[in-house]
C-alpha cells in the first residue's frame, strides 16, 4: 500500500473494520499484524463461498 504518512494504511484498515460496513476483507497475505487484528487464512472454496454469500 502507498501512503504519504507512515502507518496510515493501518488506520484506514481499522476504520474499515470498525465501520461495520464490510463482511470480509481480502488481505491476501497473512502477517503477524493482520493476525493480531483477527485475520484468518481460509481455503479458496471457503473464500469463494463467503464471497458469493456477501455479494
Note whether residue 43 is domain-resident.
yes
Q: Is 28 part of a structural domain of the chain?
A: yes
pTM above 0.85, yes or no: no
* Rounded CA separation 52/21 (Å): 16
- Residue 20 in domain: yes
Domains of the chain: total: 1
Flag whether 17 is in a domain. yes
Please give the grid coordinates belonging to residue 28. 491476501
User: What is d(CA 29, CA 18) in angstroms, rounded to the nearest whole number?
Assistant: 21
User: pLDDT tens digits, residue range 1-55?
Assistant: 566 888 888 888 788 889 988 888 888 888 898 888 788 999 999 999 999 998 8
Using only C-alpha atoms, what is the Rg of the chain? 13
- Structural domain range at position 14: 8-53
Amino acid at each position: 500500500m502507498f501512503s504519504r504518512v507512515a502507518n496510515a494504511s493501518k488506520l484506514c484498515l481499522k476504520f474499515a473494520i470498525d465501520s461495520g460496513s464490510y463482511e470480509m476483507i481480502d488481505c491476501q497475505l497473512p502477517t503477524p499484524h493482520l493476525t493480531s487484528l483477527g485475520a484468518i487464512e481460509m481455503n479458496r472454496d471457503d473464500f469463494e463461498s463467503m464471497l458469493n454469500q456477501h455479494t
